[in-house]
Amino acid sequence: MSDEFESLDHTEDQRTQKNAALQENLKSRTTWLRLFFILVFVALYSISRIVIGAVIISQFVFVLITGQKNERLNGLGQGLATYTYHIVLYLTFNTEVRPYPFEMDWPNGPPGEDGP
């Protein structure tokens, strides 16, 4: 019978520790700051999708008219693609490094050449 009471005490201790950890997480300033940056980067991600769509259409029209791609649009498209990749890494908690304009410079190449 005493084993049964010890087991209940052990379970209650675990529950108390979990509640304390939960309260600590809820009060964590870094967690709430992360939420702020998540909201900012979700907005920037949405804007970047619109700009990428404009780059796609512009590049297609340029190729249609001239028969070759526009290198400046190509560079912008690469930068936007890498930037959205960095945003997704941050949003999915795969990195703690905040993308441009906070902790990183604007990407100049494919992912991995200048990022996390």
Over residues 41-99, the pLDDT tens digits come to: 999 999 999 999 999 999 999 999 999 999 999 999 999 999 999 999 999 999 999 99
* Chain length of the chain: 116
> How many domains, the chain?
1
Residue 23: give the domain boundaries.
Answer: 2-91
In a domain, 10, yes or no: yes
**Cβ contact 111:85 at 8 Å:** yes
In a domain, 113, yes or no: no
In a domain, 99, yes or no: no
Three-state secondary structure of 17-51: HHHHHHHHHHHCHHHHHHHHHHHHHHHHHHHHHHH
pTM: 0.77
